[in-house]
Amino acid sequence: MECIKCKNEMTKVNFSTIGGIVLETKTNSIFETPETSPVECYVCNKCGYVELKATDYKKF
């Protein structure tokens, strides 16, 4: 993935809050099962820009 700030190639890293982060759709009741997606994280080692990307984005 290319950095949108400086066009440098970004490095894939773990965005760790213990076990990574997950996107989840909002539901109206506790009986609905939310759609979820893991999140990939990239960091630019030239300018420090961080980018997050949902891996299963088509679910949303």
Contact residues toward Zn ion (CB under 5 A) are 3, 5-6, 8, 44, 46-47, 49
Distance CA 31, CA 50 (A): 35
At its nearest, how many Å lie between Zn ion and the CB of residue 47?
A: 3
Distance CA 40, CA 27 (A): 23
At its nearest, how many Å lie between Zn ion and the CB of residue 53?
A: 15
- Contacts with 17 (C-beta within 8 Å, 6 or more apart), sequence order: none
At its nearest, how many Å lie between Zn ion and the CB of residue 12?
A: 14
Instruction: Output 22 or 47, the one with its CB closest to Zn ion.
Output: 47
